[in-house]
Amino acid sequence: MDRQKALEILNKYVKNDFYIKHSKAVEAIMGKLAEKLDKENIELWKIAGLLHDLDEETADWQNDMSIHGPVSIDILKKENFGNQTLYNAILAHNPKNGYKAKTKIEYALLAADPMSGFITAIAKGYPDHKVKSVKVSSILKRFKETRYAKGASRPYMMQIIKTGIELEDFAQIALEALCEIDEELGL
């Protein structure tokens, strides 16, 4: 699967810079997770992260959350891109469309999506706004504060355990991933 083609599709359908950055953040986390969980398919895992919110500006998900995911698959099929593993991972990141995660890549994407936003929220709370200032211990502490960044689903993040990775290691992996592309993310 071709990352350059995936990026072209993303840029064609998603114009908001916030979502482009979010997509790249989730891509980075998925790449690091794949290094531990599925070394032969790192590119596929990264592309799943990059394209998971592809229908963000196309689907009217504000009125019907069940279409977030299926519309992305429609777009990808129209663009003649991807395979069933990619489609299932994208579907799994939004349980509200009815598809339930059952493979490692699916659990990983379900967990990586809120974790990217969670770490970003913590970084933005610091005076320097830098992701490099965030510590794993801070992520774990904030994780337990249910009212902090409550849009970042703790139950979804906890699904990482189903891949065999503990929450603390996941926080470390995700933090490292975001630090590697901090300038691109503006963090």
> CA–CA separation, 163 vs 102, rounded Å?
10
By CB under 5 A, residue 53 contacts Fe ion? yes
Encoded one letter per residue, x for contact with Fe ion by CB under 5 A and - for no contact, window 98-137 reads ---------------x------------------------
Tell me the two tokens of residue 119: 């770490």
Which range touches Fe ion (CB under 5 A), out of 41-49, 53-61, 142-150, 178-186? 53-61
Provide the minimum distance between the beta carbon of 164 and Fe ion in the complex, in angstroms, as a whole number: 23
Which range touches Fe ion (CB under 5 A), out of 46-54, 69-77, 129-137, 160-168? 46-54
131: buried, middle or exposed (CB in 10 Å: 19+, 13-18, 0-12)? buried
Provide the minimum distance between the beta carbon of 174 and Fe ion in the complex, in angstroms, as a whole number: 13
Provide the minimum distance between the beta carbon of 187 and Fe ion in the complex, in angstroms, as a whole number: 16
Nearer to Fe ion, 25 or 139 (CB): 25
> CA–CA separation, 25 vs 180, rounded Å?
10
Nearer to Fe ion, 53 or 106 (CB): 53
If you count DSSP H runs as helices and E runs as strands, how many of each does the chain have, helices first? 10, 0
> Which 3 state secondary structure label does DSSP give 113?
helix
> Which 3 state secondary structure label does DSSP give 122?
helix
Binding site for Fe ion (CB under 5 A): 53, 113
